[in-house]
Structure 1
Amino acid sequence: MRTSTDETDDFTELSAQLTGFDDDCIRATGLVEVYRAVAVEQLGTDLFERLLGAQGRPTGELNDDLLDAARAVTFLWYTGSWQGPPPFVVSPASYAHGLAWRAAGLVAPATAPAGYGSWAERPTESEVR
């Protein structure tokens, strides 16, 4: 039986493989343990363990159950929500740290206040992109 730390490390590596973001970026979200717990609860222990065991294999070699599980975990990282049933957003932090925002070079709307009077200032070049 694996310890939680081993399982968390394995989940981090799997998440990096599925999302294309490196381990450091995945860990920097602060959501690894939260998402691991959501994945275990939603997929079930058996399917979750099989998904961790399939790490490194091309997705074309995965059976339908494992492929669906991989898609669900990828969706979780990019959107901060579980696609269901029933679909749900894990937390406000998961929405704010969804990898979709990072991939687009944006900050999630309504998650980082711009400050008083910021509307009067011209956006910087990086804010326009």
Structure 2
Amino acid sequence: MNEPLPLFLDISSHLTGFSATELEATGMSGVYWDTVQYQNAPTTLDGFLNCSRQILKDGHGNEEEIHQMIASQLFPTDKFNGLAQNIINLWYFGQWVPANQNLSLAMQHNVSPEAYVQGLVWNAAQTHPPGAKQPGFGSWAEKPLSAD
């Protein structure tokens, strides 16, 4: 797995809890990969990808072991300028948060209008994004899927 986009999808899958197929189905993988490349220094991104590749290799498919390595090697905010957290924000909320904590929250931005609509937060909450992907007329009369 030397290609950066498949590696990005694989590590994103472990960070978000959604499969790589589900992530690709959002249609946002290319946009998010471009965002990650644009927002990070090449040395930071290369270090993150190399560490991710090693974690996935050393984990031998053992989810618990992979998650422990991710927590210790990718998740501390001083590692890779908080890139792991930003990848999660991208997939769930379609937003990029600047790594420099001294910057204003006004620097936080939505990657695109479609990123809002395709955010994983809506799937996780079993709902739809307000103002988009409406469930259809009269659907409010049906019990939610998780109501049983």
Q: How does the TM-score come out when normalised to structure 2?
A: 0.72
CA contact (8 A) 1:59 1:67 kept: no
Q: Percent identity?
A: 26
Say which is worse superposed, 50-59 or 27-36, in terms of deviation.
50-59
Structure 1 CA distance for aligned equivalents of residues 90 and 145 of structure 2: 26
Distance 1:76 1:122 in 2: 29
Q: Would the aligned equivalents of 1:11 and 1:36 in 2 still touch at CA under 8 Å?
A: yes
- Moved runs in structure 1, 4+ residues, more than 3 A? none
Cα distance in 2 for partners of 1:16, 1:125 equals 30
- Work out whether 1:82 is the aligned partner of 2:96: yes
Task: State the Cα distance separating 1:58 from its structure 2 match.
Answer: 2.7
1:60 aligns with 2:72: yes
**Residue 16 to residue 114, structure 1, CA distance change in 2 (3 Å):** closer
Cross-structure match for 2:141 = 123
Task: Mark the runs of 5 or more structure 1 residues left unpaired by the alignment.
Answer: none
Total equivalences in the alignment? 122
Alignment of 1:1-129 (within 5 A): 6-55=3-52, 56=55, 57-62=69-74, 64-66=78-80, 68-84=82-98, 86-113=107-134, 118=137, 122-126=140-144
- What is the CA RMSD across the aligned residues, in angstroms? 2.2
Quote the Cα distance in structure 2 between the aligned partners of 1:66 and 1:122. 44
TM-score calculated relative to the size of structure 1 = 0.82
Structure 2 CA distance for aligned equivalents of residues 67 and 43 of structure 1 = 8
